[in-house]
A = this chain, B = another copy of it.
């Protein structure tokens, strides 16, 4: 007697978290579509938890009401207002599931005990008491959970900051030890680079947590950084998928040998930074601390920092800041220049940061050199460089940035018509 596999083989009876973003629940037809997908997964024999964001535009509508009252709203109360966006979504999704013949039960943050600290508007999850979710699943229901919100120890509603629904989904997946966390969005996965810049950009079948973290830090808006951190910490297999197609999407997971075989998995472009250079800085202890201390005092975030080897007791310091902070930074630097007795300060907002990311860099040398050579060949001037274990970033003139992205994309074998090792891993 032979065993006959159930349809889908091992792919039955799994515990799945599906997260749908604002565009995926953006109108009633899309909400019906979310219900359909959740019911389909349930019918395939899985236990399904759905996490939803507010309908697109809703959070901004609510913030506009708040800001119409005051520019400095009480943060506890702002969270009370903003959290309604996701509450409407869970109710509507549960109603849609019910109307299509499924069973559903909605949960607000306080109902499934997503306990956070009390940092209103950017709270961090401390723990999740998943008992109610399991009871719901055991009753055969699809549990529909509000993303982005939690409750603090006092019972006050908190929110997790923009993109917080991703974090909710991954944290829930970790808490219930889900077999997969599927992040549904309006793109069908993580791409090697922005397809609007490089038409030959291709979807990655797989990406490591660390690569995804670097890509998210570099402005790839597909996943919130915090959610990737949690996924990495608790080893939650994370799928990025489109709610409008059946494409399998991109799996974000632990690094393996196949991933190491390729040097670069993505090219990122960040146009949101400006370069500040301070000339002729006296090479004395404490000067850098003085400069960056002054910036920190004004809550100005500094990204890349480069300091050249001093010549004749003087050095140049270059750093990048967000473009929105240019005016504030100029003010701060006027005072700092006097205090540290340096030369003039240059500010240039016509710059962009081009980065290559790949776990292969850990085991393969020469990647940075190859990047510099490529940029040089294309006549792209490098204004500053910074690196991490799996990333090399170059600050380049803004008008050459897209050219640089395309050249690097081709150089590292990422174009859709080239076949790299990562592609081969596709089933």
Contact = CB atoms under 8 A, between A and B. Distances in A.
A67 to B, nearest CB: 10
The listed residue with most B CB atoms (<10 A of its CB), out of A70, A73, A92, is: A92
Contact of A95 (B78, B90, B95): B78
Chain A interface mostly helix, strand, loop or mixed? helix
Contact of A88 (B81, B96, B98): B81
A308 B30 CA distance: 59
7 shortest A-B CB distances, which residue pairs? Answer: A81-B91, A80-B91, A70-B99, A84-B84, A74-B98, A77-B94, A28-B68
Nearest to A72: B99
B92 A66 contact: yes
21 contacts: A62-B88, A65-B88, A66-B95, A70-B95, A73-B95, A73-B98, A73-B99, A74-B95, A76-B94, A77-B92, A79-B91, A80-B90, A80-B106, A80-B108, A81-B92, A81-B95, A84-B84, A84-B88, A87-B87, A108-B157, A110-B110
Given A80-B106, A111-B156, 11 more contacts: A28-B65, A65-B88, A65-B92, A69-B92, A76-B106, A77-B95, A77-B106, A80-B90, A80-B94, A81-B88, A83-B87
Nearest to A31: B69
A156 B62 CA distance: 24
Interface of A: 28, 31-32, 62, 65-66, 68-70, 72-74, 76-81, 83-84, 87-88, 90-92, 94-96, 98-99, 104-106, 108, 110-111, 155-157
Contacts of A31: 69
A104 to B, nearest CB: 7
The listed residue with most B CB atoms (<10 A of its CB), out of A73, A76, A80, A90, is: A80
Contact of A96 (B69, B79, B90): B69
A108 to B, nearest CB: 8
The listed residue with most B CB atoms (<10 A of its CB), out of A28, A79, A95, is: A95
Q: Tell me how many chains of this kind the complex includes.
A: 2
The listed residue with most B CB atoms (<10 A of its CB), out of A69, A110, A111, is: A69
Contacts of A87: 80-81, 83-84, 87
A3 to B, nearest CB: 40
A74 B94 contact: yes
A309 B170 CA distance: 74
A411 B25 CA distance: 61
Contacts of A77: 90-92, 94-95, 98, 104, 106
A110 B106 CA distance: 15
Contacts of A106: 76-77, 80
Nearest to A64: B28
Contacts of A108: 80, 157
A96 B94 CA distance: 33
